[in-house]
Amino acid sequence: MKITDFLKGILSLVISQILIKIFGVIYSLYMTNKSGFGDEGNAIYMSGYQIYALLLTISSIGVPNAISKIISEKISIKDYTNSERIFKISVFLFSVIGFFGCILLFLFSGFISEEILQIPETKLSLMVLSPAIFFVSVSSVIRGYCNGENKIYITAKSQFFEQVLKSIFTITFVEIVSKFSRSSKEVLAAVANFATTMATLCSLIFIIKEYIKIKKENIYIDRVNFPRERILNIVKKVLIISIPITTSAILSSLGKNIDSVTVVRILKEILGEETAIAKYGILSSKVDILISLPLSFNIAISTALIPEISRKRAINDLDGIIKKIETSILITIIIGIPCTFGMYFYADRIFDLLYPKANDGAGLLSLASFSIIFSLLVQTLNGVLQGLGKNNVPVYASIIGLIFKILSNIILIPINGIYEKGAVIGNILSNIISFIIVLIILKRNIKIKLNIIRYSIKPILASIIMIFISEKIYNILYLKNLNVNICTIISIFSAVVIYVFCCFSIKIINKNDFFEKTAKC
């Protein structure tokens, strides 16, 4: 028995994302707890970053999935000549798109910061982030090519390398600037965002080197002669696939941008500008970051799913497609349910551990935890539908979910006692609505069988056991007068071990889902 290539790709990305988040938490904690920065500084930093992330989505997020889908289909029929041709044209196309995205963000940074965000201090952050859009546009095409070549580990390595550099650069640059001058929150936020730009440049250089290695390896592969596709047809094909995928990703990112606009804008009139910015800082830099942790792990599934399903679809392997879908949904549930339980029950302790000098917002995290499982399932099912060629469905689902998000924010945020909770509730409703839509459409297109005991009851039972035992461990350690933070860390790690043990002992995990038989010599 050996682990499947599909699972290898997922595991490499998951491990990469775990390491990425560890380094991300390091610099996030550094910035949040840095004297003179805090929640208000985070609001400036994250507001600029969210606008950058939106434009970044336009130029790159949908691109790797679209390119990997096309390349994997070509490689499955051994059309290596056109796969290289598609890659080169895609690099040129998205370099142009990324260049214009960079220029637009730089030129309109003042308008965006003053008129849209109503946080003028974000202008400098947007300006220093603008070149990163070009760098990521190019690297995203190369990552898509690597994924299509079934070398997902290269994407994992490049993302990890980028995050490590981002963490090092952020702490180094901010320390240097703050040591040699009395810098404002605005300048420190801009310096931190400049670190992102430099990290993306280094990541681009790294992944170009990896592409050159793949190209040298492919020289010796037997090729089937196919007619060369016309440039116009290639551009049309890439755009037809990438635009819906990108649009879906944009709509997902818009949820965060809606919060950056509505929370500050509405609460400013009720609580005053300083309090409104601080509350948004709590929501964006603490709650959203923690809630996005499971999403960043789960993105590995949708990233691996699209080329895998496209490959099997190209050779009409329906049974293989169904098995991959069912396995992916199971992995998503195995990740999502314990994360929901953990963040709901341990919110206070997590905030005390991570943000000892600015620990407001634990109640928001408990509430926001209910969105985790639905957002993860939407992410996975979107990958399934895109692999099946149903690229428009995630777009429609996201639009409807976004409408609910906007209405919830407008109605709930002004209500006394709710305020920023309204944004969290809106996010939960948005994810539930989107999940229902994509699930209905998927079941209409392909016959998958999801056993309710294995896919729902058992993971919930395992999560309950996990919380119960880890809580007992925490209380025992606490009574022995150990440091509270040490108690929290040990109980969280023990929870992970307990949950994994439960997954095997109550047979949630079946080895046939994750391993394939090796041929005997």
Query: b/e for 219-250, b at 16 or more Cβ within 10 A?
Result: eeeeeeeeeebeeeebeebbeebbebbbbbbb
**Which pLDDT belongs to residue 357?**
72
Task: Give the CA distances from residue 182 to residues 177, 191, 435, 480, in Å, rounded to whole numbers and listed in that order.
Answer: 8, 13, 48, 44
Do both 498 and 426 map to the same domain?
no
Range(s) of the domain holding residue 464: 451-521
- At 222 the pLDDT is 59
Same domain assignment for residues 465 and 349? no
Flag the least confident range among 23-32, 156-165, 314-323. 23-32
pLDDT at 60: 54
Cβ proximity of 516 and 2 under 8 Å? yes
> Residues 74-95: what's their mean pLDDT?
85
- Which stretch of 399-403, 421-425, 511-515 has the lowest confidence by average pLDDT? 511-515
Same domain, 367 and 469: no
Q: Is the pLDDT of residue 324 over 90?
A: no
- Are both 351 and 407 inside the same structural domain? yes
Region 40-65: what's the mean pLDDT? 69
Q: How does DSSP assign 206-218, residue by residue?
A: HHHHHHHHHHHHH
Domain tally, the chain: 2
Look over the chain and give the mean of its residue pLDDT values, rounded to a whole number.
83
Confidence of residue 378 (pLDDT cuts 50, 70, 90): very high
In this predicted structure, the answer to whether residue 490 has a pLDDT above a threshold of 80 is: yes
pLDDT at 1: 47
pLDDT tier, 306 (very low <50, low <70, confident <90, very high otherwise): confident
Decide if pLDDT at 290 tops 90. no
SS in 3 state form for 261-329? HHHHHHHHHHHCHHHHHHHHHHHHHHHHHHHHHHHHHHHHHHHHHHHHHHHHHHCCCHHHHHHHHHHHH
Domain identity same for 294 and 201 = yes
512 lies in the same domain as 383: no
What is the rounded CA–CA span in Å between residue 74 and residue 64?
A: 15
**Residues 109, 123: contact at Cβ < 8 Å?**
yes
pTM above 0.85, yes or no: no
- Identify the weakest region by mean pLDDT among 96-110, 157-171, 273-287: 273-287
Backbone angle region of 223, left / alpha / beta, with phi > 0 → left and psi within -120 to 50 → alpha? beta
Q: d(Cα 163, Cα 195) in Å, to the nearest integer?
A: 10
Co-location of 469 and 336 in the same domain: no
pLDDT at 513: 60
SS3 361: coil
Among residues of the chain, what percentage have pLDDT more than 90?
23
Same domain, 464 and 353: no
> Measured between alpha carbons, how far is 321 from 39 in angstroms, rounded to an integer?
46
Is pLDDT at 2 greater than 60 in this prediction? no
Q: Is the pLDDT of residue 365 over 70?
A: yes
Looking at residue 219, its pLDDT comes to 65
For residues 243 and 285, state if they share a domain. Answer: yes
Q: Residue 494 CB: number of other CB atoms within 10 A? A: 17
Write out the two tokens for 148: 């299509």
Mean pLDDT of 164-171: 88
237 and 374 in a common domain: yes
| Confidence class for position 223, pLDDT limits 50, 70, 90 | low
- pLDDT at residue 482 tops 70: yes
405, 430, 450 - which closes a domain = 450
Exposure b/e, 297-313, CB count within 10 A at least 16 = b: bbbbbbbbbbbbbbbbb
501: pLDDT strictly greater than 90 = yes
Q: For residue 76, how far is the Cα from the chain centroid?
A: 28
- Report pLDDT for 97: 86
Q: CB count, 10 Å around CB of 319? A: 8
pLDDT for 135 equals 92
Q: Which of 204-213, 268-277, 406-415, 471-480 has the lowest mean pLDDT?
A: 268-277
The percent of residues above 70 in pLDDT, for the chain, comes to 89
Residue 519 has pLDDT above 60, yes or no: no
Please state the rounded mean pLDDT for residues 96-117.
86
The pLDDT value given to residue 344? 94
Comparison of pLDDT for 212 and 65, the residue scoring more: 212
| pLDDT tens, position by position, 428-468 | 999 999 999 999 999 888 888 888 999 999 999 999 999 99
Q: Name, of 190-204, 213-227, 248-262, 351-365, the range with top average pLDDT.
A: 190-204
**Residue pLDDT, tens place only, 232-270:** 888 888 888 878 877 877 777 677 677 777 777 787 778
The helix (run of H) or strand (run of E) holding residue 516 is strand 515-516
Q: What is the DSSP string of 118-138?
A: --GGGHHHHHHHHHHHHHHHH
Considering only residues 495 and 218, tell me which one the structure prediction assigns the higher pLDDT: 495
| Same domain, residue pair 430 and 506 | no
What the block records as the tokens of 127 is 């300006």
Last residue of a domain, one of 422, 450, 478: 450
Q: Which of 402, 419, 450 is the last residue of a domain?
A: 450
Overall average pLDDT of the 220-237 stretch:
76
Nearest Cα residue to 329 out of 464, 444, 466, 435: 435
Give the C-alpha separation, 138 to 145, whole Å. 11
Quote the CA–CA distance of 280 and 264 in Å, as a whole number: 6
Residues 22 and 156 in one domain: yes
